[in-house]
Amino acid sequence: MKKLFTLIAVAAMAFAAQANTLVVCDAGYDGYQSAVAPIYGLWADTEGTMAQMIYTADMLQDMVGCEITEVKFTTTAYWYENFGDISDASYTSYINFDNATIQLSFLSVEGGFEGMAFNGATPVATTVPVRGEDNMTFVLDEPFVYEGGDLMIECKVIEPGSYGTTYFFGAGFDEDVQCSYYGYESYSGWVSNFMSFLPMVTFEYEGGQAPVEPTEKTGAPVFHGYTEDGIHAYFVEILETEPSVIYYRVQYPDGSWTEWAEYEEILSFVGDGKYRVEAYAVADGKLPSEQIAYEFVVSPRTGLSELDGDKTIANVRYFNAAGQEMSEINGLTIVVTSYTDGTTSTAKVIK
């Protein structure tokens, strides 16, 4: 009997997407990291220090027409936490510039930097990152409606604090792609540079497409049950009537039920007694089908001398999928039954 009953079926209705969170440029634990974007913490003690990052329209398409309410940049602290290193040696992973006020601004743009920073961005939020935190979060003063297109996000020091090098997660790109810019006032004058790096950013937003409740039911699946000559087993196949995912459960002779599971292959039963199989199907954009049931009895076999109609079994041999003979049924087994009249029959058995 197939034993994969750990996946519980969820007979859920289909809904249009209404996600409130969008994560961009998440390269995972093995991703790129930068100490200069979204803010160059080493110059957080200098007013005007800033970074600008251009996120393209294809990255943000899920938010078109929605209101952005929060923006969050993630430091490398969560990498150290997940790998068990939260010692002082990893202090640069956490926010470590104190009392610097950072201003967040947005600007709709077309194309890249073309050798210079952008002017005219609209301030939307400020924050004073807390030392020891692993995220730099901006809650917008008012929701910002994203109407599509490339979006330039600027982070600028407007009230200096203490300096400190904090690293942020993000994604790296080809060297000839200038997607980020940073600048600061040094002892020798204004310094600027461009990078092929975008910090990982998490947007919280409101709006989007309203849920759409389906009204049509999925076509119910059908059962195909059969036995094999001379084999102490019963086979059940569940067939879909339209493209869908089928879920099933089994009631054993002792009355116990399995959990609902996703149907993948033919079911086989080798224990004596009465069984009941229930199933339903779910197609994309439709309600679950009607639930159907199939009942059957597995009868005992009387041994190699049992009769199959007018035939007497001479011997039974077992082979695995590679054609190697085995002493008994084990896993997927090909059973070859020979009869005294010289005929044979074969069957697949899963135990």
Q: What is the mean pLDDT of residues 227-237?
A: 71
More confident site: 48 or 349: 48
**C-alpha pair distances (Å), 24 with each of 33, 88, 129, 158, 194:** 14, 29, 21, 26, 20
**pLDDT tens column, 107-124:** 999 888 888 899 999 999
**Alpha carbons 239 and 87: distance in angstroms, whole number:** 57
CA proximity to 221, closest of 199, 197, 253, 244: 244
Q: Is the pLDDT of residue 5 over 70?
A: no
- pLDDT, residue 3, reads 30
**Is pLDDT of 50 > 80?**
yes
Q: Are 136 and 130 in contact (CB under 8 A)?
A: no
Side by side, the strands of the sheet bearing 245-251 are 261-262, 245-251, 273-282, 292-298
The pLDDT score that the predictor gives to residue 70 is: 97
- CA 10, CA 6: separation in Å to the nearest integer? 12
Report yes or no: 205 and 124 within 8 Å, Cβ to Cβ.
no
Report the candidate in 301, 302, 332, 328 with the shortest Cα–Cα distance to residue 317: 328
DSSP 4: -
Distance CA 16, CA 22 (A): 16
Alpha carbon distance, N-terminus to C-terminus of the chain: 6
The answer to whether the beta carbons of residues 104 and 38 sit under 8 Å apart is no
Condensed to tens digits (0 to 9), the pLDDT of residues 15-30 reads: 334 448 999 998 776 6
Q: How many whole angstroms separate alpha carbon 261 and alpha carbon 235? A: 17
> Can you give the pLDDT at residue 82?
62
Residue 224 has pLDDT above 80, yes or no: yes
State how far the Cα of 211 lies from the Cα of 225, in Å rounded to an integer. Answer: 39
Q: Looking at residue 209, what is its pLDDT?
A: 57
Mean pLDDT of 115-136: 92
Q: pLDDT at position 149, please?
A: 93
DSSP string, 186-253: ETTEEEEEEESEEE-EEEEEE--PPP----SBPPPPEEEEEE-TT-S-EEEEEE-SSS-EEEEEEE-T
Higher-pLDDT residue of 337 and 155 is 155
Which distant-in-sequence residues (6+ apart) come within 8 Å of 14 by Cβ?
A: 212, 214, 284, 285, 286
Q: Give the pLDDT confidence of 290-315 residue by residue, as tens digits.
A: 999 988 888 765 333 333 444 566 77
Tens of pLDDT, residue by residue over 165-221, are: 899 989 888 877 889 999 999 888 999 999 999 999 999 999 865 556 788 999 999
Extents of the domains making up the chain: 21-206, 222-350
Predicted pLDDT of residue 4: 29
How far, in Å, CA of 345 to CA of 222, rounded? 27
pLDDT tens, position by position, 58-104: 999 999 999 999 999 998 886 666 655 554 445 677 898 889 999 99
From the options 2.60.120, 1.10.150, 1.10.3470, 1.10.10, give the CATH code of 21-206.
2.60.120
Average pLDDT, the chain: 82
- Contact between 168 and 76 (Cβ < 8 Å): yes
